Structure 1
Amino acid sequence: ENYFVVEISMISYCRSRDDMPTKIKLCDVKTTGSMTTKTKTTTKINQASHHKLAGDIVNVSVLAASVVYVITVVYFTMPGAAQGVVDEQWKKDGFCIRNSDVPYWSSFDTCLYVDVVFSAIIAGMYFAWKDIPGMETSSAIVPALIAATLGHGIAHGFMAVKLRDGTYHTQHDEGDAAPTLLQMTIGCVMLWCPLLKASMPKMEYKHVAVLAAIVTYGSSFVKNKLVFAYIQTIVNISVHVSQLMLSPDEKNRREYMTTPLSNVLPLVVAWNEVLFCDPYFRSAGGHVLYDASIVVSFMVFYFDCYSFHTTPRSSTSNKCVTKEKST
């Protein structure tokens, strides 16, 4: 008999020319010829184009918001600047600190606890998922991220010690003392090197070390109240500029779209901290919310990658099955 093919969704129904439904032939989509292959190829191209466009938009948006953030903070902390824009409590401490008079339970202490605990959780995720096909790109930054998170937490631990012994506010009141060579070396090795490597995973370690030394030296000229803004700005510029400089093939990957999204929540939290510390941010937890937003955002991103690469994709049968239908 002669049959013509009517494609409905992913199943082709074959009927006789006299339109009598005596037989129904369920065919694999491959029997429809090159049209299906072309459709699949077009879909993949459209998805890749969507990933690139969305990734470009998010990267540029977060980068621009980061620049506006640091300009706002620097301008409104200058002598004679208008009052009431940047939160006065934040301006005093450089952070939004809760429980500053409660030993081992200030925002700096809780930052240390959160960073250590979540570093352990991320490490567990990494060792469980790093060898899964497709997880190579997202897993590449995890070791450096864990080291940077721990270094970040330890830095907050030292700040908590100063808060307990009273030297934290004393240093702020008396002026910004230049860090010692030992302090700068520790900061470079434990914080900036892993932080910049996590931000720019494709950069060689020797270049990361040089850049970390430059950034560490530059931090010695930054006022204590602006250290947080300095670190966040350097990290965001590193992350998003390096993302925008990826090759076209790398931008077509799904991770190019999802990676910059992990920086959206931390930036939103940072704006809330600097603008609304006294109204509600401090009572909600203070600066620990910022640290938590970083690690939680990355965990969501990493889990999304895992879910995407382990979810089975539907496949069609390679056979055509003919069934009789009664009239």
Structure 2
Amino acid sequence: MSYSDTNDPAFESMGNAAHYTNIASTLFFAYAVVSFVKDDANDPLFDKSWKQDGFCVTHKEIPFWNSHDACLYFDMMAALLLGALYWKQRNALGMERVNEIFGPSILGILAHGIGHGAVAHRMREMGLPTLAEEDDLDKTTIDENINERIMEINMMDDILGVGEVSERGRNVFVMVCFWVGLMKAALPNLRMAPFAAMVLAAMAGQQFVDRQFAFTYVQTILLVAFSVNQLARKKEEKDFVYATHPMVVGVPVTFIGWIESTQCSAFVKDSFYGHLIYDGFIPVAMLVWYVVCYLQIKESRDNSFESIAKTADRKGKVKVS
């Protein structure tokens, strides 16, 4: 294989295999979650703490510093940094296919952070114990108190809102931003009408999803939608960019999901700030993928220019002679 050729036919086979692997891994994870999360007695896989929330959440009792808050902060900073990189390279020769995916992905990262911010806000509204109250409660009581209140979160309430009209409007606005941003990242080249239909379908489906399955629901839709969308691309578009994205971003993300959901109490909660391991990996992987594509395309571009220059030089010598 010539690594200076970003359109080598082998990239199509590599990309197809990677995207099918991504779909299979994502669906298997969803199947395992649905099969075992509700069955504590026969669950050989998932961490108890992760199952309580559908996420690995640390520091639930600290306002503005639990895992959801940390994901919001990290995603906002990552979106700014990646956005600056995208802006600088938006018109770079040969980067059109990369930017077609990378640009909307930044919007997806931003929307992802907003979603976590909304969950963190909801937790604060529920009146979880503060650090000042811990002196009167032992650790077990605190955890039980928190988990009982978190269990009260209803997906319908989160989306449609409860209480005042302004609150319901805010919640709907956040949910629309969340799904529009993420679906744009998953389906960057989809026309407006089918894109809007996909967003509405995803929002409607979430109304019937238990809190414990929220993360799995979102991950399944986004990763499967992205890979199906990419697999449907024209043959000539299945190049280096097509092949490397699922290898660097898609498939590894599903593995991070497995690590978080099975090792939350073992080390993820304390060593990686819970769900931040998942949210943090995505922009880092996107950055690595972008740099790899840039270097590959730059090499291919430089080789092409060099070849053109040599051809022109040979023609010039022939004319002189």
Normalised to the residue count of structure 1, the TM-score between the two structures is 0.78
1:78 deviates by 2.4
Higher strand proportion:
1
Deviates more, 1:300-309 or 1:275-284: 300-309
Deviates more, 1:230-239 or 1:275-284: 275-284
Any idea what SS the aligned residue of 2:274 has?
coil
Aligned to 1:287: 275
Matched-pair contact (CA < 8 Å) for 1:263–1:297: no
**Aligned mates of 1:147, 1:155 — CA distance in 2:** 12
1:140 deviates by 1.6
**Aligned mates of 1:81, 1:61 — CA distance in 2:** 30
Deviates more, 1:162-171 or 1:201-210: 162-171
Task: Look up the equivalent residue of 1:67 and give its one-letter code.
Answer: L
1:120 deviates by 0.3
Aligned to 1:34: none
1:49 deviates by 2.1
Matched-pair contact (CA < 8 Å) for 1:152–1:191: yes
Any idea what SS the aligned residue of 1:257 has?
helix
1:256 aligns with 2:242: yes
Aligned to 1:220: 207
**Aligned mates of 2:10, 2:55 — CA distance in 1:** 38
Aligned to 2:154: 176
1:211 aligns with 2:171: no
1:303 aligns with 2:281: no
**Aligned mates of 1:114, 1:306 — CA distance in 2:** 24
**Aligned mates of 2:95, 2:5 — CA distance in 1:** 19
Unaligned runs of 5+ in 1: 1-38, 322-327
Task: Look up the equivalent residue of 1:173 and give its one-letter code.
Answer: M
Task: Look up the equivalent residue of 2:63 and give its one-letter code.
Answer: P
Task: Look up the equivalent residue of 2:156 and give its one-letter code.
Answer: A
1:172 deviates by 3.7
Aligned to 1:192: 179
1:201 aligns with 2:179: no
Aligned to 1:107: 67
**Aligned mates of 1:163, 1:169 — CA distance in 2:** 11
Aligned to 2:137: none
1:114 deviates by 0.6
Cα deviation per residue 1:109-131 (whole Å; 9 max; x = unaligned)?
Answer: 11011100000011111111010
**Aligned mates of 2:208, 2:44 — CA distance in 1:** 26
Cα deviation per residue 1:65-106 (whole Å; 9 max; x = unaligned)?
Answer: 000000001111124651342111101111101122222221
Task: Look up the equivalent residue of 1:164 and give its one-letter code.
Answer: R
Cα deviation per residue 1:181-204 (whole Å; 9 max; x = unaligned)?
Answer: 646632442011121122111211
Q: Percent identity?
A: 27
Aligned to 2:142: none
1:120 aligns with 2:84: no
1:245 deviates by 1.2
Residue 147 (structure 1) aligned to one of 89, 92, 107? 107
Task: Look up the equivalent residue of 1:280 and give its one-letter code.
Answer: F
1:169 deviates by 4.0
Deviates more, 1:52-61 or 1:168-177: 168-177
RMSD of aligned residue pairs (Cα, Å): 2.6
1:62 deviates by 1.1
